[in-house]
Amino acid sequence: MKTIGSFLIVLMLSLFRPFTPELSAQDTQNLNFLEPADTFHKGRFWAAAGAGTVIYGGFAYGLYQSWYKSYELTDFHTFDDLHEWQQMDKAGHLYTTHFEANLLFSGARWAGIPQRSAAWTAAGIALWLQTTVEVMDGFSSKWGFSWSDMAFNVGGAGLFVGQEYLWEEQRILMKVSSDVFKRYPQSRILSLDGMASTSLQERAYQLYGRSFGERFLKDYNAQTIWASVNILSFIGERSSLPPWLNVALGYGAENMYGGFLNKWTDDSGNAQFSVMSQEHPRYRQFYLSLDIDLSRIRTKSRVLKTFLRCINYLKIPAPALEVNTLGQVRGHWLHW
């Protein structure tokens, strides 16, 4: 799988080589390293293709070692997880594919690939990366290939390509934020047979991990997925609003201690636990907030511009209004 994926990355990029002129030696010398090439740049093309090959191979190997090695391999099978995790994982698939396509598009443009060709290349490779995960799931006894995951992957790639065709820019960015320091109740919970106890804090550690990185990537209770919309690009440049000001619509969920229900078995497979829905009901959260499109901040520094673009997929902490499915309306002075 790693070999096939690496070959496809190089092949998909090389498809555009015959149709784009190469830069002259003088143009190559005058080109700033971080500045996108106006026309096809052979050295950058092979650098991007080589880096992509290595990254993809490392990604596939690391994913297998981290997630799949401990579980038995089975025949390829599917699994319907559409209703798992209040669809927070589905929002994550939409975000991730759009995020990957956006970064890959920047790399393709850096190599001088024309805009629309770069958009399709980026979307295709992003979908290939996500499909790698789904195929691995399909051969794992713990998971299965998810058609709903694939649908949201296609949605993320489609959101990217559609905006490039409509506006030749990304007016709507997918972003993520996470309250990685979120605290869970530490009061003891008895197992159904009364012979063991745990807490929601311990259950969160079991599900989402303890480290900063694990919590940021895996804690669905702490995450919010955002669609960050640039205001000025829609209302016209005659407005006095700053070009970097966005309005963000967020989606989150709370009180999830299991995929479908708040019921689980401990690591030994003996003690079973269940959380009362009256005390800790699972619910959805919808947010309205302000945000900043860091890529629209004007700067003459190519290094700073590149840095801002790289972190532009994280939602800036800001005041937010929350409406949830418990019928509550809440204001947050600062939502992470």
Q: What is the pLDDT of residue 217?
A: 86
Banded model confidence at residue 34, pLDDT cuts 50, 70, 90: low
One domain for residues 8 and 154:
yes
Per-residue pLDDT of 187-244, as tens digits, reads 999 999 989 999 999 999 999 988 888 899 889 999 999 999 999 999 987 788 999 9
Banded model confidence at residue 9, pLDDT cuts 50, 70, 90: very low
Residue ending a domain, among 169, 190, 207, is 169
DSSP 36-95: PPSSB-HHHHHHHHHHHHHHHHHHHHHHIIIIITTS-B-S--B---TTGGGGHHHHHHHH
Amino acid making up residue 313: Y
**Number of independent structural domains in the chain:** 2
- Tell me the three state secondary structure of residue 57: helix
One domain for residues 111 and 238:
no
Q: What percent of the chain has pLDDT over 90?
A: 60
Higher pLDDT, residue 265 or 302 = 265
- Tell me the three state secondary structure of residue 149: helix
Banded model confidence at residue 8, pLDDT cuts 50, 70, 90: very low
Q: Across the strands, what pairs with 324? A: 285
One domain for residues 175 and 148:
no
One domain for residues 17 and 162:
yes
One domain for residues 242 and 283:
yes
Q: Alpha-carbon torsion 59, 61, 65, 71, what sign? A: positive
Residue ending a domain, among 169, 198, 221, is 169
One domain for residues 103 and 229:
no
Residue ending a domain, among 118, 152, 169, is 169
One domain for residues 25 and 37:
yes
Domain that holds residue 66: 1-169
